[in-house]
Amino acid sequence: MDNHSYNFPSDCTPLTSCKTGRKPTGSTVVHMGAAGAGRSPPPRDYLVWSLCNTLYVNFCCLGFMALLYSIKARDQKTQGNLQLAQECSDKAKWYNILAAGWNLLLPLLAVVLLVLLLVHLGASKGSFDFLGEDGLHNFLKLFSW
């Protein structure tokens, strides 16, 4: 675009001061109130925690449920409905706790079962060395018919 298409009054041009007696009307002031004046902080939405639990794919899609409630809590918070946002935030928190507990329980259970298997095999008759000669071969013989 060329500058000829813009029409400015002759006494006011961009980047220069106006020659007329017009003065700015003042500034706009918005009073926000004192910080922390009887208000509780907005509810948390636990979105990052929910994303981590969702990506880990756990039992009964608990992480996905937490993600849904986290998004709903964030939406309600932006709309100004803090009571419903708090309810959704609480649900997201508990689904995240359940999902994280389940995510920690399965690997812990697998380690405990492996330790119990090794203790049982070490105490049984004809114990053998897993890392020595023929250790793996002898171990596999236990499971052959």
Distances from the Cα of 137 to the Cαs of 61, 73, 115, 127, 131, in angstroms? 40, 57, 20, 13, 10
Let me know if residue 105 belongs to a domain.
Answer: yes
Let me know if residue 65 belongs to a domain.
Answer: yes
Choice between 3 and 78, residue whose per-residue pLDDT is larger: 78
Let me know if residue 10 belongs to a domain.
Answer: no
Let me know if residue 74 belongs to a domain.
Answer: yes
Residue 141: which pLDDT band, with cuts at 50, 70 and 90? confident
59-104 per-position pLDDT tens digit: 788 999 999 999 999 999 999 899 999 999 999 999 999 999 988 8
Let me know if residue 119 belongs to a domain.
Answer: yes
Three-class secondary structure of residue 55 per DSSP: helix
Domain region containing 97? 41-123
Residue 27 has pLDDT above 70, yes or no: no
Portion of the chain with pLDDT greater than 70, in percent: 64
pLDDT of residue 120: 77
Let me know if residue 25 belongs to a domain.
Answer: no
Residue 116: which pLDDT band, with cuts at 50, 70 and 90? confident
Residues 66, 54 contacting (CB under 8 angstroms) = yes
Choice between 40 and 112, residue whose per-residue pLDDT is larger: 112
Let me know if residue 141 belongs to a domain.
Answer: no
pLDDT of residue 25: 57
Q: Would you tell me the crossing angle of helices 47-55 and 62-79 to the nearest 10 degrees?
A: 160
pLDDT of residue 56: 83
pLDDT of residue 59: 74
Number of domains in the chain: 1
Let me know if residue 17 belongs to a domain.
Answer: no
- 60: nearest Cα among 99, 106, 109, 101: 99
44-53 per-position pLDDT tens digit: 989 999 999 8
